[in-house]
Amino acid sequence: MATTAMVIVAIVFGVVGLLYWQFPEATRRWFERIQLTRQVVWGLFLLGLAFVMLSSGIPSLILGGAIVLGYAVLYAIYEQPHEIVRDAVGI
């Protein structure tokens, strides 16, 4: 079982290395797109989780939801993710 996993990891590393060697700019661009998509999906998930926590009625969960929303607001102020998305989409 371990050897099968090692073979799969070696194949994945080989394919990624070959792609990066042949198409470095396209590989970087696709990696950035995947990272942006991952960040958007997790961000939306955490915002949804925060609102569920806020509406739970349990004081500790309400506090946790408020902390998550506070982090989201500070992140939006300082990191300006809307600028990153706008630049990636090309608006």
Element (H, E) at 58: none
Pick from 29, 20, 23, 26: which is nearest to 87 by CA? 29
What is the pTM assigned to this prediction? Answer: 0.64
Residue 46: pLDDT over 70: yes
In the prediction, which pLDDT does 16 show?
87
Residue 1: pLDDT over 80: no
68 C-beta neighbours (distance < 10 Å), count: 17
Q: How far apart are CA 42 and CA 39, in angstroms?
A: 5
What mean pLDDT do residues 30-38 have? 85
What mean pLDDT do residues 15-35 have? 87
Residue 90: pLDDT over 90: no
Segment 69-78, tens digit of pLDDT: 998 888 888 8
